[in-house]
Structure 1
Amino acid sequence: MSGSPTMEPTAYDASIPIAVQAQENKRRKRRIMKIAVYVMFGIIALGVFAIWLFHKDSVESIRFNANFVFTVKVQTLEIKTDDQEGLLYGELGRNIKAAPFSSCWDADAKAYEPNCLYWKHKAYLRVSHDDNVTGSCYTLSWQGLQSGFIAEDCFYLQQYNWYGYLLPDEEFWPIQGIQVGKHGIIYEAGAAIVHLTTIQIDEVPYYSRYPEQQQVNLVPTWFGSQGIAIFVHSSYPFTISWNNTEKRQFCITSELEVLEDRTEEEGGVDQLSYTICKGKDLKDVYYNAQKHRHSWEAELKKTPHTIEPLLWPLHAVMSRDDIVPLFAALRSNRSRCSFLLLPEEWETRFGDMQFDQLLLQELRGLMSVTKETGCGCVLPISTFFTFNSRLFEEGIENGYFLRDELNLVTKMVRWRDREGAVLDATNPEAVHWYLDRVKLLLQNSSYNINALKLLHIDVPRDANFYDGNMTFLDYSRLFYRDASALLNVTLILEQATGFVSEPVFVSLRTEINDVHDAQCFNDTIPWALNLGISGYPLIIADGSELQKLPDVSVQLFQRWLQFAIFFPAFEIPNLPLLNNPDVVAYMNTLLNFRREIISYMKKQWTLENEAPILRSMWWRNPMDSTAQLISDQFFVGDELLVAPILCHPASERTIYVPPGKWETVRLDNNKTLIFDGPKTVRASVFGARLLIAFWAKK
């Protein structure tokens, strides 16, 4: 039986001629080779593109140092910790859409400027680094080129707590990431209990001019609990916003608009300049910001004045009716005095620079008492000259006054219900002329003047200065700079604005608010703490607002005294109840206790005059999340904790005692109480005559 034939495999189709199959194989190989070449070139092209893309990103991402990175193509700034964790994220140049950019060319140096970007036909952005604060502070400055351009930079709040000015009628200690902290006060059995209520940021007016009109101390500084500080250099008008829709951003916007297009050769219009500092925490970034601000103000630095906290209170002659009672109180030692503040209207007319002779006769006795008791006189001075004042015509003839857009000085400013002109504080001849007249007053020994209070004037926005680089926002700082040239004179600012390089006393009016049928000083501590971190450590608790009340109770005055004595200085109001022997006795008890406070305060001031004297509850431990939210307690230095009752008729309160061992401060000889923190305790201001304060126990 024969088997079937075996089918052997072949490499070709027997039905197709061999020559044809060989030709097809060649074509197939050529196609494979082509595809391989295409793939290879594709891979090469992809690699070249990746290299180009990497190079392009590295060009468009400017790394000022390892922790400050600006990505140009999306106009974002990211600030990181040393461990590369995000601290702050912002959008710069919100009004610049897609626009070509290049590095800024310096024609004089014939080189590109470092850390400078030029958006063609739009704007310049320059970033400078402070070498004195290693890698911690950068200043960003915008110059506009295109008509209608306005610089605007926005930063995301995230979930951090922020500290700084919000709006005149809103509390700001802290400003929280999603909501603005606002304290209300309720009562249980006569005791005040602080609880947190909130207003949403999107309920806050979108833009707020800074300042629309300065009625309070305003320093454009903001601190974030993640270790960030932002402060604006005050030469250019700007607005701020805390409610940029649902993004929860803080925005700084130039108020100046570029009016007409400018070429690169002509240069840009200065619009906005501010500094961002970073640190490990709130306390660390405070010191970095202080170092930077001192270096920035180096050209304004004058001979340092010897200035320190005051033991005894200030008294003020608010009107002629105060002269006789103050004379009697000082003569009989019912009150003591570090300074006597003379009336603001000591001239016949603002700008006479001479005492009103009738007023001077009435003040002679009071001035002699101050001299006998070692109490100096404070002379309030302004740079305002009414049109009928003695020196007005001389100032006009010599061009010593600011002028408006029409080159006029008359009726340019209305101040204290009068119209007149304001000294140009950038004109050296005008300043010399003005200070010569102040010196004549200081040299008259019968006046006993050894301090000056610099009265604030809101200079019009259209004011033209001798120095064209200055604007209305610089004026208070310039007035301080000029007055600081007077040696051996203590200076007091009526209102602080911007930053000054030397310590100076700042007056803080302790206003009374009606909260749930109670009279409260609940704004005072946040304002004081904000001034402290803004670079003003020597704060005066000014009680003059109490004089405006029709009837001040003994208890309300005691509430004021119980926190005012812990300030570096305080001004006692002239109240009828100061004739009450019990009130005088209580006040003198507190004044005697203040000797101990001042001794401690001066020691702290000598050791660390770069730090605030009144310090936030987070100062000892910046990462204490409970302390970050407290706005009604404060430290004096590091060792004295103060938790006053800020409302009347309340007599008790809840106090947060931070980690450590603390002993109560008492005004009698009874046994002190010891507390181990952290804990919350309940305390009363009456009964055992316990003062609401605690010393750190070592």
Structure 2
Amino acid sequence: MLFGFLQVFFIIPFCSNMCVHIYVYRFVFITIIRTGLQLVGVLGAGSIPSDLPPPEPCDQAGLCWSFGSMASLSLTPTLDGQCHFVEWKSQFDSLADCFDMGQSYWYGGGEVFDQSWPIDGDTALMGDGGRPDVPYVTGDFFHNDFAGVLEPYWINTDGFGFYALRENPLFVSWNSSGDHQLCLKSRYEFPYPRPSVGQELGLRYFVCSTSDVKSMHLLALSKGFWSKPRDTPDQRVFEHPIWSTWARYKTLVNQARVLSFAEQIRQYGFNDSQLEIDDRWESCYGEHQFDAEKFPDPAAMVNQLHSQGFRVTLWIHPFINAECASFSEASAHVVSDANGLPALTSWWQGNLAGYFDYTRPSSGDWWSARIFKLKTDFGFDGFKIDAGETNWLPSGFDFSTRLPTNATPNGYSTAYVRTMERFGGMTEVRTGWAAQDVPIFTRMLDKSTVWGKANGLATIIPTLFQFGIEGYPFVLPDMIGGNGYNTVLPERELFIRWMQANVFMPTMQFSYTPWDYDLEVVDMALKMTSLHYQYSGLILTLASQAMTNGYPINRPLWWIDPTDPVAQTIDSEYLLGDDVLVAPVLQTGAVTKDIYLPKGVWRDEADPSHPVYTGPMWLYSYSAPLDILPYFTRVSPLQ
């Protein structure tokens, strides 16, 4: 156990309310106690120089300490007594507050390659190494520790939680070197810009306590740690699948293939929300001009697709390659260095490129005008917009005249998403930082065409949960079957199980098609897309309710019974609202599944004539052959 030699100071047999016990030596040791549960931490761990004298109280209440003229630490209770605001002000090079993870389960944090639910599963995945001390910034987890969606927010099943202010130059470690600690750290190291000489280093966060994990999450919502959606995105995207050219055609897409793709979709009897033309349609990346050889008449193509009932969207990105003809003009609108000169970066389709600067309103307007011109010239209905994370920023980036130092670099991702909102409710992005109020779709980063936890099918539900509890309910799971970067076509079984797993999520997206396999798969897909449409009214209702309550559309099982220790660990089932439970098969070769039903009376919708089940209970070896998606509906409302 962390700080085991200190436990003698903190053993309290009972505390009727939330209590904070503090022991001050060279560091500040804190225990938050509620009804026999405790959260133990060391504030200033490894941060305080050894030659400083012990801290002295700086107020009568005993919740503020000064470390000479070098630092101060305060703990301020909120009016309701459920949280304390922890604030460091210092001249130190770094600050670190570390808390013992205890025996409870934890949720939250960032989108990662091997997403787990609860996130304690990271420990099992990574051995004793856990997750090392890394900057808490948006990125691409194929190159960085986190992907595009993250919030400085963690909660556990004992009802404790943390919310760190976004202004922190935050580094986070999780069970690093097997220490079983969650550490919040602050320091001005890349990618955080160094402030002016003499500016203090701070670390600011809330630590809160409630009765259970759901109550903790509802408390976070009531505190307004993030904003709720201002509206709901496009209705049709909730109802019918997106059809993307990407995984099926990759960069070999052209006008003839797009039109053939559309014909096939209609030939096999499928509906759509939109047909999306993905990479690579441009003559030069960032030029926003069609490659005339691949797309000889894009306006005629879009008109033909419209006549077939399709809406048409186009893949867009925030880069312009240096070899493009308009780079000279565009260079005034890309991220610049401290001298105001264009700073170049590299990305997956270019070694030298500018990254458009959406923190500068005039540049966002200039870029947006080019995108709107694609709508007016060719008739596109909307856009899939890629990237937007901080890892693509050039190393010499400088936002000092536009963003406060404490809003950099993640403020770039915020400005990016807010710029994309202007393209309407069909828009999808793949990053989010302080952008929960923007009513567009948030896409999971490219999934790999594999079954397991290596960014495969097994990570879809954990990622769905992570987006949801961090305030992004309008989730676009990635393409059914994954992106196929290491295969021509997903195996048949994987494609079917992936499709089934998506049915009760907010949206569905195909690129590999059911007819790439056989007519039996086509029939299954028609049934699954019809089932999704059947429940789209409920999905739309939940999406609308998210504007006022902030709840996820898809919820973990503990949402309806937060103290159920089994429900707290389930990562292969999910809820749609409170009354639909979905238990897709996620393992290769499996034709049965052990299904957990939490409290309530449940009807088996795959076999509705079967007597109802009363939870909590396990259904062991539930029969789920390849054409069966197990799902259940609650017979009576949640009490």
| SS in structure 1 at match of 2:477 | strand
Alignment partners' CA distance in 2, 1:590 and 1:91: 51
Counterpart in 2 of 1:589? 527
Task: State yes or no: 1:341 paired with 2:276.
Answer: yes
The reply on whether 1:483 has 2:427 as its aligned counterpart is: no
In the alignment, which of 303, 310, 315 is matched to residue 368 of structure 1?
A: 303
Contact 2:139–2:148 (CA under 8 A) maintained in structure 1: no
Matched ranges for 1:172-571 at <5 A: 172-176=116-120, 180=121, 198=124, 202-204=128-130, 206-211=132-137, 213-215=139-141, 216-219=147-150, 220-243=152-175, 248-256=180-188, 268-293=199-224, 304=231, 306-308=233-235, 310-318=238-246, 319=251, 320=253, 322-332=257-267, 334-361=269-296, 363-364=298-299, 366-396=301-331, 398=332, 400-404=333-337, 408-444=341-377, 446-457=378-389, 458=391, 459-460=393-394, 462-465=396-399, 466=401, 467-469=403-405, 470-484=407-421, 486=422, 488-497=424-433, 499-508=435-444, 509-513=446-450, 521-543=457-479, 545-548=482-485, 549-571=487-509
Equivalence for 1:160: 104
Residues 443 and 565 (structure 1), Cα distance of their counterparts in 2 relative to 1, 3 Å cut? same
Which amino acid is 2:263 matched to? Answer: A
Task: For residue 433 of structure 1, give the secondary structure of its aligned residue in structure 2.
Answer: helix
Cα 1:336–1:162 change in 2 (3 A) is same
Q: 1:383 deviation in Å?
A: 2.6
CA distance in 2, matches of 1:245, 1:574: 41
**Displacement of 1:125:** 4.4
Relative to structure 1, the CA distance from residue 422 to residue 515 in structure 2 (aligned partners, 3 Å threshold; closer, same or farther) is: closer
Q: Is the 8 A contact 1:450 1:488 kept in 2?
A: yes
Moved more, 202-211 or 275-284: 202-211
Give the TM-score, by structure 1 length. 0.74
8 A Cα contact 1:666 1:672, kept in partner: no
Q: What residue number does 1:12 align with?
A: none
Asked if 1:629 corresponds to 2:569, the answer is yes
Scaled by the length of structure 2, the TM-score of the pair is: 0.80
For 2:328 and 2:75, the matched residues in 1 are separated by: 46
Paired AA for residue 162 in structure 1: W
In angstroms, what is the RMSD of aligned CA positions? 3.8
1:92 corresponds to 2:43: yes
Q: Contact conserved, 1:327 with 1:369, CA < 8 A, in 2? A: no
| TM-aligned CA distance change 1:156 to 1:406, over 3 Å | same
The verdict on how the C-alpha distance between 1:417 and 1:433 changes in structure 2, with shifts beyond 3 A counting, is closer
Higher relative contact order (CA 8 A, sep 6+): 2
Could you say if the C-alpha distance between residues 350 and 531 of structure 1 is closer, same or farther in structure 2, counting changes exceeding 3 Å? Answer: same
Query: Paired residue for 2:29, among 76, 84, 93?
Result: 76
Provide the secondary structure at the position in 1 that maps to 2:184: strand
Distance 1:577 1:562, change over 3 A: same
Q: Structure 2 vs 1, CA of residues 521 and 454 (structure 1 numbering), >3 Å: closer, same or farther?
A: closer
Query: Aligned-pair distance for 1:671?
Result: 2.8
- Corresponding position of 1:34: none
Q: Which segment drifts farther, 405-414 or 498-507?
A: 405-414
Match of 1:599 among 537, 550, 564: 537
Is the CA contact (8 Å cut-off) linking 1:378 and 1:453 kept in structure 2?
A: no
Q: Which residue of 1 is the match for residue 5 of structure 2?
A: none
Structure 2 residue 611 is the aligned partner of structure 1 residue 664: no
Match of 1:19 in 2: none
Q: 1:403 to 1:266 in 2, by over 3 A?
A: closer
CA drift at 1:619 = 0.8
Partner Cα separation in structure 1 for residue 78 and residue 367 of structure 2: 35
Q: Distance in 1 between matches of 2:418 and 2:138?
A: 23
Residue correspondences, number: 588
For residues 549-585 of structure 1, give each alpha carbon's deviation from its aligned partner in whole angstroms, at most 9, with x where no partner exists.
Answer: 2343332221111111111012112347446322222
Superposed displacement of residue 316, structure 1:
0.9
**Given that residues 107 and 118 in structure 2 are in contact (C-alpha distance below 8 angstroms), is that contact kept between their aligned partners in structure 1?**
yes
Shift of 1:514: 5.6
SS in 2 for 1:648: coil
Deviation of the 1:685 alpha carbon: 2.2
In the alignment, which residue of structure 2 is the partner of 1:119? 67
Sort the Cα spacing of 1:305 and 1:498 in 2 relative to 1 into closer, same or farther, 3 A: same
For 2:280 and 2:212, locate their aligned partners in 1 and report how far apart those are by CA, in whole Å.
46
Larger radius of gyration: 1
Change (3 A) 1:266 1:629: same
Give distance in 1, aligned partners of 2:339 and 2:57: 40
8 Å CA contact 1:326, 1:366 repeated in 2: no
User: Which amino acid is the alignment partner of residue 41 of structure 2?
Assistant: G
Q: For 1:161 and 1:293, locate their aligned partners in 2 and report how far apart those are by CA, in whole Å.
A: 24
SS of residue matched to 2:388: coil
Amino acid at match of 1:448: F
For 1:595 and 1:412, locate their aligned partners in 2 and report how far apart those are by CA, in whole Å: 43
Cα offsets for 1:597-626 (capped at 9, x unmatched)? 212222333344411111111110000001
Alpha-carbon separation, structure 1, partners of 2:455 and 2:330: 47
Name the aligned partner's letter for residue 98 of structure 2.
C
Q: What is the CA distance between 1:464 and its match in structure 2?
A: 0.6
Offset, 1:312: 0.8
CA distance in 2 between counterparts of 1:522 and 1:275 reads: 32
Paired letter, 2:477: A
**1:126/1:519 CA distance change after superposition, 3 Å:** closer
Q: Distance in 1 between matches of 2:371 and 2:65?
A: 48
Note if contact 2:186-2:201 (Cα within 8 Å) is conserved in structure 1. Answer: no
Q: Distance in 2 between matches of 1:103 and 1:392?
A: 59
What is the rounded CA distance, in whole Å, between the counterparts of 2:519 and 2:352 in structure 1?
45
Q: For residue 133 of structure 2, what is the amino acid of its counterpart?
A: Y
Partners of 2:531 and 2:138 in 1: CA distance = 42
Paired with 2:274 and 2:74, the residues of 1 have a C-alpha distance of 47
Give the strand-richer structure, 1 or 2: 1
Question: Conserved in 1, the CA contact under 8 Å of 2:116 and 2:122?
Answer: yes
Percent of residue pairs bearing the same amino acid type: 22
CA distance in 1, matches of 2:490, 2:18: 58
| Inter-partner Cα distance in structure 1 for 2:500 and 2:385 | 25
Matches within 5 A, 1:11-26: none
Tell me the secondary structure at the aligned position of residue 542 of structure 1: coil
- CA drift of 1:538 comes to 1.5
Cα contact 1:235–1:473 (8 A) shared by 2: no
Contact 1:221–1:534 (8 Å) recurs in 2? yes
